[in-house]
Structure 1
Amino acid sequence: MSDDIELKFRHVSGDIGPIKVPGSSSILQVKELVFAQWPKDGPVSADKASAPPELRLILGGKFLAESETLNDLRPAMGEIKADTIVTMHVIVRAAPAGKPQGKEKKEQQQGCSCSIQ
């Protein structure tokens, strides 16, 4: 019996995969594979992440932690046979807006503010 798990990723604009992944892979490694195989054209291509950590994977209604492995999640996947394809949902989460970068960070530290009248 192979340790590989065939995964398909459902995005609001379409599906990605299936991709065959070793069961020992971490969710971060799975995100890196999905990021590398993200479609370059079609509806899904419009919502590409800029880095793998921006991808959020969901299985059984639960956001998956990057440190979990696919083998850890086998109970949530049900019985996996040779022809089983496990579907996960994938969403793109933009970088947090509350953490300013570069010049914005410097301006914020200097006490910039806005007022609406």
Structure 2
Amino acid sequence: MTSSDVPSDATAPDARFLFANERTFLAWSRTALALVAAGLAGVQVLRPFPGVPWSRDLLGVPLMVLGAVIATVGYLEFRRNQRALHQRRPLPRSWLPTILAVAVTLTAVTSVVVVLVSTVRAR
């Protein structure tokens, strides 16, 4: 954070809240890294769907993109929360849990469809 992010008349907030905000940011960073790693592993390890050579990418690439989105938005929220804490304002609402829940659900449903169709075609 730069000095321009914190108003000159603001008093320092309780360090516990600042550390909690930092831990939340680090948790989002770990989640983002796990998503990128899972997507990369999926692209490298999964067998392609018969007749669809890009089927591995259908599962892996969205996870990697989601990881990048979570990392970026997590940092922006960290900064926004820091600013609110220094200005003694309520913390803004976070959309990250909703984004993550929807994306993981869509990935899971897509994975189930791919596995079921692969199983049926293999018979």
Is the TM value for this pair above 0.5? no
Q: Which structure has the highest helix share of the two? A: 2
What is the TM-score normalised by the length of structure 2?
A: 0.30
Q: Determine which structure has more spread, i.e. the larger CA radius of gyration.
A: 2
Q: Which structure has the highest strand share of the two? A: 1
What is the TM-score normalised by the length of structure 1?
A: 0.31
